Amino acid sequence: MKCRKCCQKAIINMRQHRLAMCKEHFLDWVPEQVERFIHKYQMFSRQEQILIAVSGGKDSLALWDILFRLGFESDGLYIGLGIDEGIHYSEKSGQLAEAFANTRKLRLLTVNMRDEYGETIPQIADRTTRGQGKPCSVCGLSKRYIMNRIARQGGYHVLATGHNLDDEVAVLFGNTLNWEVSFMSRQSPVLEANHPGLVRKVKPLFRFSEREVAAYALLRGIDYIYEECPHAVGSKSIFYKEILNRMEEKRPGSKLIFYLSFLKAKENGLFANHAQEQVLSLNTCSSCGQPTTASGECSFCRIMLKQ
Ligand code: AMP
Ligand code: FES
Ligand code: ZN
Ligand code: ZN
């Protein structure tokens, strides 16, 4: 297989794009495409301050690398979740995020759950009904809460996460199976700050498959955590990703078509009524002042105040 651009030996073949590339051209192509998508989906401009949520994994570190190379002003935010039983997942991922920032002289903000809230995610999960069995739900809501809070407090215009196509398609697949229309109406590569106290959220890697992002991170020599969070083992999202990969294997491009067709349907008004309801039903948390769909206290304050 030869590189489409220079006819040297290709190191990656992207069947869904009918495109093969050598290392050098692939490493140029990825940032070029990211810049194109930032513009096409109106994610942010060069004048805006960007906060990137970095987990120490390949996606968010690759995203930081790309935005840095493209000359966007961005700081990182790492949330220390305290998931350290067994493989020391949080400790290792925090060190990798820090090392990445230090070698490039980038600014990394850190919120440590244990220091700031007195409890780790597994500890909160253990004492709350929501967390029984698995801490993932408590973890997800805490991360979303902290990301928004830090982005707002720091005066950032936009919060970027490393979600890739496989992540987005797995969520869409799950929501479609359960016909979760209100979740579908909110799923988007760009979530505008449509309520006071909310920051715009963007996913600049949403059109790249997990394989493409992993190849980029490896070829760039980015040191990232290879292990998955130990609590992700056996999750629905991993199960959906396996099914979708089997489909992709037989029909390259299915994942991208599924997601882009969904965005098109949304643009054509398929979920218009639900989107409107979401905007109207946002309230302000009586305890912390952050926006919430709940009336009274937001879910994060509720789990933190519940003894
Ligand atoms: P996940 O929810 O683990 O699939 O991660 C999705 C995205 O959320 C990552 O690409 C990061 O941008 C962000 N993220 C996940 N975990 C953390 C963390 N501990 N600190 C900061 N950002 C995170
Ligand atoms: Fe939150 Fe796994 S990263 S429970
Ligand atoms: Zn080439
Ligand atoms: Zn609150």
Cα(165)–Cα(11) distance, rounded to whole angstroms? 21
Atom of ligand 2 nearest to the CA of 81: 1
Question: With b meaning 16 or more CB within 10 Å and e meaning fewer, what string describes 232-262?
Answer: eeeeeeeebbeebeeebeeeeebbbebbeeb
Which residues lie near ion ligand 3 (Cβ < 5 Å)? 3, 5-6, 8, 22, 25
> pLDDT at position 273, please?
81
Supply the angle between the helices 210-220 and 58-69 in degrees, to the nearest 10.
60
How many residues make up the chain in this entry? Answer: 307
Measure 19 CA to ligand 3 centroid, in angstroms.
Answer: 11
Indicate which ligand has the atom closest to the C-alpha of 235: 2
Domain-by-domain residue ranges, the chain?
Answer: 46-304
Tell me which H or E stretch contains 207.
none
Kindly report the protein residue whose alpha carbon is nearest to atom 6 of ligand 1: 163
Q: Tens of pLDDT along 145-204?
A: 999 999 999 999 999 999 999 999 999 999 999 999 989 999 999 999 988 899 999 999
Question: Is ligand 2 within 6 A of the CB of residue 136?
Answer: yes
Indicate which ligand has the atom closest to the C-alpha of 237: 1
Question: Is ligand 2 within 6 A of the CB of residue 225?
Answer: no
Band of the pLDDT at 279, cuts 50, 70, 90?
low
pLDDT at 277 over 70: no
SS (H, E, C) 93-114: HHHHHHHHHHHHCCCEEEEEHH
Closest CA to 211 of 17, 66, 56: 17
> pLDDT at position 280, please?
62
* Class of domain 46-304 (CATH, top level): alpha beta
pTM of the model: 0.96
Cα(305)–Cα(75) distance, rounded to whole angstroms? 30
pLDDT at 306 over 70: no
Q: What is the percent of the chain where pLDDT is above 90? A: 88
Tokens representing 3?
């590189």
Kindly report the protein residue whose alpha carbon is nearest to atom 3 of ligand 2: 229
> pLDDT at position 301, please?
95
From 187-191, 242-246, 273-277, the region with the lowest mean pLDDT: 273-277
Measure 41 CA to ligand 4 centroid, in angstroms.
Answer: 31
Q: Tens of pLDDT along 14-48?
A: 999 999 999 999 999 999 999 999 999 999 999 99
> pLDDT at position 105, please?
97
Question: Is ligand 2 within 6 A of the CB of residue 147?
Answer: no
